[in-house]
């Protein structure tokens, strides 16, 4: 039986990930504060025979054996509390969120030096197995790495639980075709993956589009 995946956050990233995973046969529930606003979208998706359910944040978290967190950074902790600590217990939580703020007219991180949103999430929900990955790339690249450079570019992943990281890596390779995924350590490395989003955003603005990623050569 295919894994059931609950997605907490049904914006651009949540919908893109949900649609792509459903097209690979995974059973998906997208969680939103107002799931009814997605009814038209889901009808179009399901016409393609994808299995996508809609629910509240807590329904999506309870549904998934494997969870993805894709809420805006400022609201992340609040949204995960709405999802319910008991529904996160013991589960992998792939976190693609970013602690970003555009209030000063440019992208900046709202976290302090020496911390990250990934660490905040892990320390607030110690029984979840938080794995941070893909936060620096556009959702369209997350689900289709082959659309640039024939897929010859790299992903970074971090988290405290080795088995959870292996499961995330296996899912991203199998579902989306990622080839190189670097395990860069425990969840404190989210400071680096979140910071990398600042660099990616600057590079994307020079390129004039966000369909880009980095490659590690050694």
Ligand X SMILES: NC(=O)c1ccc[n+]([C@@H]2O[C@H](COP(=O)([O-])OP(=O)(O)OC[C@H]3O[C@@H](n4cnc5c(N)ncnc54)[C@H](OP(=O)(O)O)[C@@H]3O)[C@@H](O)[C@H]2O)c1
Q: Interface residues for ligand X in 133-172 (CB under 6 A)?
A: 135, 138-139
CB of 1 to ligand X, least distance (A): 27
The residue within the footprint of ligand X, chosen from 88, 92, 100, 155 (CB under 6 A), is 100
Q: 12 or 123: whose CB is closer to ligand X?
A: 12
The residue within the footprint of ligand X, chosen from 2, 12, 123, 174 (CB under 6 A), is 12
Residue with nearest beta carbon to ligand X: 11
CB of 9 to ligand X, least distance (A): 4
* Distant-in-sequence contacts of 183-186, Cβ < 8 A, 24+ apart: 183/157, 183/158, 184/156, 184/157, 184/158, 185/158, 186/158, 186/159, 186/160
Site map (CB under 6 A) of ligand X, residues 49-88, x = contact: ---------------------xxxx-x--xx--x------
By CB under 6 A, tell whether 205 contacts ligand X. no
Site map (CB under 6 A) of ligand X, residues 18-37, x = contact: --------------xxx---
Footprint of ligand X (CB under 6 A): 9-14, 32-34, 70-73, 75, 78-79, 82, 96-98, 100, 135, 138-139
């Amino acid at each position: 039986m295919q894994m059931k995946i609950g997605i907490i956050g049904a914006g651009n990233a949540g919908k893109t990930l949900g649609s792509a995973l459903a097209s690979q046969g995974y059973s998906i529930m997208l969680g939103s504060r107002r799931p009814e606003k997605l009814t038209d979208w889901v009808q179009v998706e399901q016409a393609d025979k994808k299995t996508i359910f809609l629910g509240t944040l807590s329904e999506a978290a309870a549904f998934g054996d494997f969870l993805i967190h894709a809420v805006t950074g400022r609201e992340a902790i609040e949204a995960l509390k709405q999802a319910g600590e008991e529904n996160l217990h013991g589960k992998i939580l792939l976190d693609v969120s970013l602690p970003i703020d555009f209030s000063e007219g440019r992208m900046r991180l709202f976290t302090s030096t020496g911390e990250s949103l990934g660490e905040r999430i892990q320390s607030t929900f110690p029984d979840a197995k938080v794995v941070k990955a893909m936060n620096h790339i556009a959702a369209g690249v997350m689900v289709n790495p082959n659309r640039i450079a024939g897929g010859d570019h790299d992903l970074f992943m971090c988290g405290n639980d080795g088995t959870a990281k292996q499961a995330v890596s296996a899912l991203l390779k199998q579902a989306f075709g990622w080839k190189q995924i670097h395990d860069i350590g425990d969840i404190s490395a989210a400071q680096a993956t979140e910071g990398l989003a600042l660099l990616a955003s600057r590079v994307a603005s020079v390129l004039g589009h966000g369909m880009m990623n980095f490659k590690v050569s050694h």
